[in-house]
Amino acid sequence: MLAWSIIEFGDNMKSELGNAKAALRWSSDYLVKAATATPGTLYVQVGEPNADHHCWERPEDMDTPRTVYKVSAQNPGSDVAAETSAALAAASVVFKNSDPSYSRKLLQTAINVFDLADKYRGSYSDSLNYAVCPFYCSYSGYNDELLWGAAWIHRASQDNRYMSYIESNGQTDGSENDDFSFSWDDKRAGTKVLLAKTYLENKIEQFQLYKQHSDNYICSLIPGSPNSQAQYTPGGLLYKQSGSNLQYVTTSSFLLLTYAKYLDSNGGHASCGNSVVTSESLIVQAKKQIDYILGDNPMKMSYMVGFGNKYPTRIHHRGSSVPSIHDHPNRISCDDGHQFFNSGSPNPNLLVGAIVGGPDSNGNYGDDRGNYNEAEPATYINAPFVGAAAFFSGH
């Protein structure tokens, strides 16, 4: 999502573009290492979730087992492998002009990982169930990631084999209408918007389906639309579910803006039943959501740490809530750290820029470190926000 943010709205990032690309290169380097260290293998996880969640300690003090888990032909993980492939392919687009050699390396690695995902089909939630569930289970299956990965490789390579793959597998690999969410687990809405671009630009008949489904997704978000299905808090925040709800807000806002860009560039509009929804309407809806996150809400509270006069101070984050090694040089053990978890005091280390899970369905936020559904920040919340923020910085 960070790569997609840079691709669509990098021109608006100005002096921050270099920082965004540096962050993307750092994560891409890691994925390349995970994909190339052992032929036919993708390393997907370091650490044991149950042990890690039992402890509350600083990164510098971590002493829980650092077990390494992998997927392969014998232990398939099409979901995590295809997602890795998509991430590498998207990153290759970002670096295509500035570092062609690196871009080619990313793309070739993406292709190899996708081949592993497609040839040896299966969910890593099954192969590695004891290690990844219930924390990182793939609830949507792996078909959505296969289509997502193929779509990104096609965009990066323009190789018609992947267009053929999408045409042949789209009906079974996640092109069906969905529950109108886009998240770390479910890629269907994002894939449709990405493939709708291909239809809008080239009018390839086989891809018209993705334009129709993208319209359905967009229309589901627009209050007053004949197809509106989304729920909103009394203050106007999109509300999907209690677990890190702001991920759905940032991803949907990003897709609204990206689809608006695709429509604008090709003279199109979204069809909601008999109604026409313009790109301007999509932008207005996205801005309401981004403004809400940054403090334009009934609580007058920003949900980005360090932004504005009022923001979360007790976020569910170990490094932020436990004293730094500069203030507390002695080791803080696994169990000792819980005194800081249970403390009512604000976190001593400000995690500037982190966006938390957000308020409940009534728009209330208790700033409670123990309520991870509301107080936990995540990169999958922030990454799409980068693109949305970049768009509005230029408008």
Active site amino acids: 316, 367, 376
In the 8-state DSSP scheme, what is residue 314?
A: S
Type of residue found at 78: S
Cα separation, 74 vs 28, in Å, equals 25
Helix, strand, coil proportions of the chain in percent (round to 5)? 50, 5, 40
Q: What spatial distance separates the first Cα and last Cα of the chain, rounded to whole Å?
A: 21
Residue 369 in 3-state DSSP? Answer: coil
Cα separation, 246 vs 238, in Å, equals 8
Nearest residue to 222 via CA among 167, 297, 272 = 272
Q: Encoding tokens for residue 280? A: 């301007």
Evaluate whether 88 touches 113 at the Cβ level (below 8 Å).
yes
Nearest residue to 249 via CA among 262, 233, 263 = 233
Cα separation, 290 vs 251, in Å, equals 11
Evaluate whether 335 touches 63 at the Cβ level (below 8 Å).
no
Cα separation, 303 vs 48, in Å, equals 30
